[in-house]
Amino acid sequence: MKFGKVFKRVVVFIAIFTLLVGSCLLSYSKSSSTIKLGVNLELSGAVAQYGQRALEGIKMATDEINKKGGILGKKIELVIFDNKSDKTEALNIATRLATKENVLAILGCTTSGATKSAAVAAMKYKIPIISPTATDDKLTLDERTGKTKAYVFRVCFNDSFQGDVMAKFALKTLKVKSVAIIYDASSDYSKGLEKNFKVAFTKGGGKIVAEEAFAKSEQEFSGILTKIKAKNPEAIFAPVYYDEAGLIIKQARELGIKVPIMGGDGFDDPKVAEKAGSKYANNVYFSTHYSGQDPDKKVQDFIKKYKQLYKNEPNAFVATSYDLVYLVADAIKRANSTTDREKLRKALEDTKNFAGVTGVITINKYHNAQKAAVIIELKNGVQVFKQKINP
């Protein structure tokens, strides 16, 4: 009896031990034959659309690279985590990816707030983090010293460029002199864009007649819109995410506000037109990273491939994330190492004239991508390419 018990325990112990060692060996052998890239995205929560579309772009590019034989003879393996559109969660995931998962670099997040938070871990553990779409100016800069953060990159333009572009567009193309602003005071993205637009627009001779702030997840805008209507602005600038964008457009039009409504790349989602209703989604303009109506062959090929895979139109989030993977792959190739984070960082810094779907990208000394912005107009809910503005 007693011997049987001891025997059983020994057997169980050996079984567990073999499993543990076996799985360690397995994962070890697996990790040494692939290049592990961490993915830290908003797959659920308030801006889930951004993360989900970005993941489509990342997966699509990864599959293409792997099918062609990978980079330096190794395939890319994605380690994907959902940060639930939450800043704290983004930081936790970045820490886990840098330490436990031991990835070469982190791809993501899509929003400025989450990326800023994840960047803290990236700086601490010296691992490159590259965002496809976070546009806040301060993202790549140290708040105190103003110096570039060594490990933080993005493959998109920043808000001061986007703010400038929209201010120029308002003054020159729309020819408006007075603008009312509605922004989300709980979002780094919204606040940054609001500030940069204001500076550029007033410098160009325009006047800001009203500045209205709201807090996260607001649904009822008719109070502030009624107030704005009484001030008769010639246009409204609302640098917000898609959920609020749709509601603001709808409620403004219902109140009889007919002036143009402008925004940033946060407007680049079909949900804006769905929420506003195609009847109301008119006279809306926003800046973004790419347009599907660009006749460039590279762009059209990308759209064709995406449509085959997902039966849908790709938006800027898909396109920048697709470029992100190719840009990182290119840097790994130049760094000539699949494990050295420091060499990869250096190679990312040296990226010049990388031809992507969203344009020709050069990483400048602030780790921002220098490339053109595109202005899109909504006509009955349909995105129409308006113009391209170079830096």
Contacting residues toward another protein, per CB under 8 A: 44-46, 48-49, 52, 84-85, 185, 212-215, 217-220, 222-224, 226-227, 229-230, 243, 246-247, 250, 254-256, 271, 274-275, 277, 279
Residue 323 Cβ vs another protein, minimum distance, rounded to whole Å: 24
CB closer to another protein out of 226 and 380: 226
Q: How far apart are CA 371 and CA 391, in angstroms?
A: 7
Which helix (H) or strand (E) covers residue 263, if one does? strand 261-263
CB of 81 to another protein, least distance (A): 15
- List beta partners, residue 210: 180
Token representation of residue 103: 């990835």
Joined together, the tokens standing for residue 123 give 């700086």
Which residue, 84 or 345, has its beta carbon nearer to another protein?
84
Amino acid at 237: F
Cα(68)–Cα(221) distance, rounded to whole angstroms?
A: 50
- Smallest gap from residue 266 Cβ to another protein (A): 14
Phi, psi of 231 (to 5 degrees): -90, 0
- φ/ψ of 187, rounded to 5, equals -115, 130
Cβ–Cβ contacts within 10 Å for residue 367, how many? Answer: 23
- Considering beta carbons, is residue 61 or 273 the nearer one to another protein? 273
As measured in angstroms, the least distance from the Cβ of 381 to another protein is 12
389: part of which helix (H) or strand (E)?
strand 382-389
| Residue 28 Cβ vs another protein, minimum distance, rounded to whole Å | 34
C-beta closer to another protein: residue 32 or 88:
88
Spatial strand order of the sheet with 178-184 comes to 207-214, 178-184, 235-237, 261-263, 284-288, 373-379, 382-389
From CA 76, how far away is CA 36, in angstroms rounded?
Answer: 6
What is the closest distance, in whole angstroms, from the C-beta atom of residue 239 to another protein in the complex?
A: 15
Quick one: 156 or 182, whose CB is closer to another protein?
182
Q: What minimum distance in Å lies between the beta carbon of 217 and another protein?
A: 7
For another protein, the closer of residues 127 and 225 by Cβ is 225
Cα(244)–Cα(212) distance, integer angstroms: 14
Residue 44 or 339: the one with the smaller Cβ distance to another protein is 44
Which residue in this structure is represented by tokens 């506000």?
257
